[in-house]
Structure 1
Amino acid sequence: MFRKVLLISICSMFLFSCSKRSLGYFNNYGEGKVLTEEVVLSDTRSIIQPGDLLQITVTDPNQVAAAPFNRISQKSSGTPGGASSTEGSSEGYLVDENGLIDFPIIGRVKIGGQTKSEAKLNLTNLLTNYLGNPLVSIRYLNYRITIVGEVNNPNTFLVPSERINLVEALGMAGDLTIYGKRENIMVVSESAGVRTVARLDLNDKAILDSPHFYLQPNAIVYVEPVKSRKDQASLTRSNISLVLAVISLASLVYLNFK
């Protein structure tokens, strides 16, 4: 019996050592020290969607005239001498299910389905009826991405720069574990009411030119485990079930013979 167990163990170790997996990225770039190639820039502009929270700031040479178009919340803070001071911070505009926001004085404005540049132009044209030379700034307050699966730090991350690619996102999550399937990274995103599921291969340099390499707001990245990891998890669950079954059976036998 001992010889059989030993033989099975040796065969398993041999098979495991012979299996090869590539843990590197962009393997088909070759081994050259320097490589130059033409870069085709893809459109990475995100589309404003319902549920987005936006910071919209309006400036004008006439600051007094521009003030009513900025929603400012006043925050009080104490000072060591007991006095309090107030400071203003711009409130966010929540895009409703119809793509509309409630803008001061102007009223309901539709910006859903537009890029930030298009929304800025739209608001600027509306503001020219009230201001001499309006300047509109828009930024996301809830640009988030979620990374789950075989990474070292799965979490939901806030992206202040409003521009992030897949490699940067995986870096924020502590990179893949050795069990992460690098050739099949799933990226789920929604834009203009359309959900897109893309599968990207980190071993292939073609990922750099993929339109899904740069992540959309609220994108979900899922790193699938390799088959050995799945089998290991399944085996662990089976072992736990077997142990519980044996304990239950032993308890019944003990109670019957007691």
Structure 2
Amino acid sequence: MHTTFSLKNTIKVLSILLIAVLTSCASRKDIIYFQDEPVSDETHLENNYELSYKPNDILTIDVSALDPDAVRPFNLSSVMYSNNGGNLNNAGLNANGSVLRQTYLVDPNGNIEFPVLGTLNIGGKTRAEVTEMLKEKLTVYVKDPIVNIRLINFTVTVLGEVNRPGTYTIQDERISLTEALGLAGDLTIYGKRNNVFLIREVNGQKKYAKLDLTSINVVNSPVYYLSQNDVIYVEPNNSRVRQSTYNQTTGVIISAVATLATITAIIINSNK
């Protein structure tokens, strides 16, 4: 009778522990990002081989010419600062100092305030278009002006199953999807190669696309070359999702279940 009671209790404990294991596992919906909006393709996005300026972009614009004095009014002055409050040397620097270049911030209407020329609308224009516009306006004041424009806050964010997720600043103002994934250390073995998710802002609206890296045709995608502030998300595969559902408590429970199962088997065999 005592053995029967112990066996019944052991089986009951095993059942409770197995239920605990099953209920402790999170579902796929607890793990995957961006699930609520189905995305079929990226046909609503256009090729963007050359970036165009948008609100919140930060630019440096340098104007030069044979006569340096003639272009001085059209260049923002640099601000020299010291990190420790010490005196600056003749070069405008000390051991802990630096030169901070003033920049242009594109406002919500796509405008910048340019010295002498006033308000200029550059939203939606490419670097070549803005350069030509500035040269045309500056020619009234300067002979043969040279304009150099640089976007300094071109960033892309790579999340999910990559080796080094994070936000990356791009120096050359042009980067492809594969280059961005390369910066992030490539996909891990758990990343879904056929389901890479991209978020892009176009004219103030969020656009979405899904890409299949297993297909060579991905290089012909309208979103293969990235825009500033693009977000790339690599979805984990089922193996990673299953791994993510196990916590430390689950491991302890599984060990306990295995131990009790062994004890139960011994009890059953001893009563045969």
**TM norm. shorter chain > 0.5:** yes
Q: Is the 8 A contact 1:92 1:141 kept in 2?
A: no
Look up the equivalent residue of 2:149 and give its one-letter code.
I
Deviation at 1:242, TM superposition (A): 7.6
Separation (CA, whole Å) in 2 of partners of 1:83 and 1:47? 40
Tell me, yes or no, if structure 1 residue 46 matches structure 2 residue 46. Answer: no
1:127-166 residue pairs with structure 2 within 5 A? 127-166=138-177
1:193 offset after TM fit, Å? 2.4
TM-score w.r.t. length of structure 2: 0.67
CA 241–125 in structure 1, closer or farther in 2 if over 3 Å, else same: farther
Offset from partner CA, 1:194-227 (integer Å, 9 cap, x none): 4321111111000111121111011111000012
For 2:134 and 2:205, locate their aligned partners in 1 and report how far apart those are by CA, in whole Å: 25
**Distance in 2 of aligned mates of 1:237 and 1:118:** 58
Q: Deviations over 1:69-89 (max 9, x none)?
A: 0112142679xxx94422766
> Alpha-carbon deviation of 1:43?
4.5
1:231: Cα distance to partner? Answer: 2.6
1:191 is displaced (CA, Å) by 2.9
Structure 1 residues without counterparts, runs of 5 or longer: 1-41, 244-258
Give, in whole Å, the separation in 1 of the partners of 2:122 and 2:196.
32
SS at match of 1:86: coil
Shift of 1:235: 4.1
Who is 2:36 aligned against?
Answer: none
SS of the aligned residue for 1:156 comes to strand
Is 1:66 the counterpart of 2:71? The answer is: yes
The separation in 1 between residues aligned to 2:253 and 2:195, in whole angstroms, is: 33
Whether 1:93 and 2:98 are equivalent positions in the alignment is no
Report which of the two structures shows the higher radius of gyration computed on alpha carbons: 2
Tell me the CA shift for residue 44 of structure 1: 0.7
CA distance in 2, matches of 1:74, 1:89: 5
More off after superposition, 214-223 vs 65-74: 65-74
2:178 paired residue number: 167
Contact 2:51 2:174 (8 Å CA) reproduced: no
| Cα 1:199/1:95, change in 2 over 3 Å | same
The structure where strand makes up a greater share of residues is 1
Aligned residues: 199
Q: Secondary structure at the match of 1:72?
A: coil
Normalised TM-score (structure 1): 0.70
Letter matched to residue 80 of structure 2: K
Against the structure 1 CA distance between its residues 108 and 207, is the aligned structure 2 distance closer, same or farther, given a 3 Å change threshold? same
- 1:1-258 superposed matches below 5 A: 43-75=48-80, 83-86=89-92, 90-236=101-247, 239=250
Measured at CA, do residues 235 and 74 of structure 1 come closer, stay the same or move farther in structure 2, by a change above 3 Å? closer
* Paired amino acid for 2:134: L
How far is the alpha carbon of 1:241 from its aligned partner? 11
Change (3 A) 1:106 1:237: farther
Aligned-partner SS, 1:50: coil
Q: Distance in 1 between matches of 2:55 and 2:63?
A: 22
Conserved? CA contact 1:58–1:69, under 8 Å:
yes
Contact 1:165 1:215 in 2 (8 A): yes
Which gives a bigger RCO, structure 1 or 2 (Cα 8 Å, sep 6+)?
Answer: 2
Indicate the residue corresponding to 1:248 in structure 2.
none
Identical amino acids, percent of aligned pairs: 40
Q: CA RMSD in A?
A: 2.5
